Amino acid sequence: MAELDTSSSGGHKKGPGVKKSKKLSTRIDLTPMVDLGFLLITFFIYTTTMAKPKTMEINMPYNDKNLTIEEKNKVKKSAALTVLLSRNHRVYYYEGIGDDPEHAPDIQVTTFSSTKGIRDEIIAKKKKVDGLKKTGELGEKDETTILIKADTTSTYSDLVNILDEMNINDIKVYAIVDISDLEQGWIKATEDANPGKK
Amino acid sequence: MPHAKLPRKSTNIDMTAMCDVAFLLLSFFMLATKFKPDEPVVVVTPSSISQITLPDVDIMMITVDPKGRIFFSIDNKLKRKDLIEDINSEKKLGLTPDEINSFALGSSIGVPLNQLKSFLGAPPDQQKQLISAAPGIPADTNAFAPNNELAAWVNSARNTNNRLRICIKADGDASFPNVQKIIKTFEGEKIFKFNLITNLKAIPSGTAAYDDAHAGEKKS
């Protein structure tokens, strides 16, 4: 009992009945750390932008002031379909380019719905142009041409939808053109003829 | 028959491996993450079937909110500084170096040029409030109209970085005349190729694009 215990840290002597202090395990409970790790992972998964925004490329026609009207209107009438976008996502369309103020074309109304909408009309027009090509009425180089004219009551989503239809139906020649007063009059006339549907 | 004694297993699991995995994933996500850029306004873009992804750099973004307000931004900080110095000297705005720095570090601009100085002079947290109340950049269908400030921005941005990709990010409910102003301004600036930001939607079956996309599958 006169022995000095130098090994214990406390410095106090241990009696014979006192047990030696237990060696502490070096193992730590890692559960909270794992919790923290997964919490941070969840945060980063939520904030990360994995899906990059998609984009649609469009080419506008080169608008040269030197071009004469005849050169601009080179579009063959029988290959053309004019689409007018108007209020409430309504779509008006007619065959040809509507350059004859005397004879208003046969204007039809439809929507962007996937069945019986504008898509079916575009497909029908494509078939028609293919038929005309076979009979020789249209040359080999003529393509179905769609003129897109949006009026002031249409929205941007209408424009994107119709451009999307061009991609969906593989229409190679299309153009966004300013609407003429004549066509706005036709839209109004069609609206007036169908009251209660505004 | 002797009864087989099942050894009692400890419920303690070694968490070290799990911890390793957790932090490995954590470091992956931290490095791979790119925080969503500050958007001036909430814009819900319409959907299209287009699958072209937007590149990371050299983007000029023109944002149109449902009310038709126009916001302008470009991505690169250094180019932003060049741009604002260009605009500053051209339009004689008299911006201080602090205000120029504020532009370089900021995000979108949606105020007319005559309000630009007071906007950039405001502290960053106040700028956010100002953006939500901003009137938008004035634009016109004529690119050469004196009040068409969008044309001035586009022009200066293209002078400082000629590889810019021009994108329009407009809300589906934005009215067409507001978008037309931008398109006409681009035309005046001789930009005939630009991008419209859209969401992705599935290609409807039975159409030409659908056949195209699935042509490879049928053969194989």
Go through the domains of chain A in sequence order and give each one's CATH number.
69-193 (3.30.420)
| Model pLDDT, residue A9 | 47
> Per the domain annotation, does B173 fall within a domain?
yes
CA of B64 to nearest chain A CA: how many angstroms apart? 10
Tell me if B198 and A56 make a contact (CB, 8 A cut-off). yes
Q: What is the DSSP letter of B46?
A: P
CA of A91 to nearest chain B CA: how many angstroms apart? 14
| Model pLDDT, residue B220 | 44
> Per the domain annotation, does B8 fall within a domain?
no
| Model pLDDT, residue A29 | 81
- The number of distinct structural domains making up chain B is 1
CA of A122 to nearest chain B CA: how many angstroms apart? 11
- Mutual orientation of helices A156-168 and B176-188 as an angle, nearest 10°? 70
Q: What is the dihedral of CA A168, A114, B47, B165, to 10 degrees?
A: 30
- Which residue among B35, B50, B186 places its CB closest to the CB of A56? B50
> Per the domain annotation, does B181 fall within a domain?
yes
**B45 CB near a chain A CB, below 8 Å?**
yes
Q: For B71, list phi and psi in degrees, rounded to 5.
A: -120, 150
The rounded percent of chain B whose pLDDT value lies above 90 is 0
Q: Could you say which residues of chain A have pLDDT below 70?
A: 1-20, 49-53, 61-76, 98-104, 195-198
Mean pLDDT of B131-149: 78
| Model pLDDT, residue B36 | 62
Tell me if B53 and A55 make a contact (CB, 8 A cut-off). yes
Cβ-proximal residues to B212 (8 Å cutoff; 6+ apart), any chain? A170
CA of B72 to nearest chain A CA: how many angstroms apart? 17
CA distance B33 to A12: 57
| Model pLDDT, residue A10 | 47
> Per the domain annotation, does B96 fall within a domain?
yes
By C-alpha distance, which of B149, B165, B160 is closest to B109?
B149
> Per the domain annotation, does B110 fall within a domain?
yes
Mean pLDDT of B75-97: 80
Mean pLDDT of B199-215: 77
- The pLDDT tens digits of the residues spanning A164-196 come to 888 888 887 787 877 877 777 877 777 777 765
Question: For the residues of B68-115, what is the DSSP string, one character each?
Answer: --EEEEES-HHHHHHHHHHHHHHHT----HHHHHHHHH---B-S-HHH
Contact (CB, 8 A) for A154 and A85: yes
Mean pLDDT of B208-216: 75
A51 contacts in chain B (CB < 8 Å):
200
ipTM at complex level: 0.74
| Mutation for testing the B interface, residue in A28, A156, A162, A165 having most B CBs under 10 Å | A156
Mean pLDDT of B35-52: 76
Tell me if B195 and A170 make a contact (CB, 8 A cut-off). no
Tell me which residue range forms the domain holding B79: 47-200
Mean pLDDT of B182-205: 82
CA distance A154 to B172: 10
Q: Using DSSP bridges, classify how beta strands B193-200 and B165-170 pair: parallel, antiparallel or unpaired.
A: parallel
- Mutual orientation of helices B97-105 and B77-91 as an angle, nearest 10°? 140
- Name the more confident of B72 and A62: B72
- The pLDDT tens digits of the residues spanning B157-185 come to 888 877 888 888 888 888 888 888 888 88
- Which residue among B22, B45, B209 places its CB closest to the CB of A37? B22
Average pLDDT, chain B: 80
CA distance A166 to A175: 10
| Model pLDDT, residue A8 | 46
By C-alpha distance, which of B136, B115, B123, B128 is closest to B182?
B136
Q: What is the dihedral of CA A11, A15, A17, A21, to 10 degrees?
A: 10
Tell me if A38 and B22 make a contact (CB, 8 A cut-off). yes
> Per the domain annotation, does B15 fall within a domain?
no
| Model pLDDT, residue A98 | 67
| Tokens read off for A32 | 């909270």
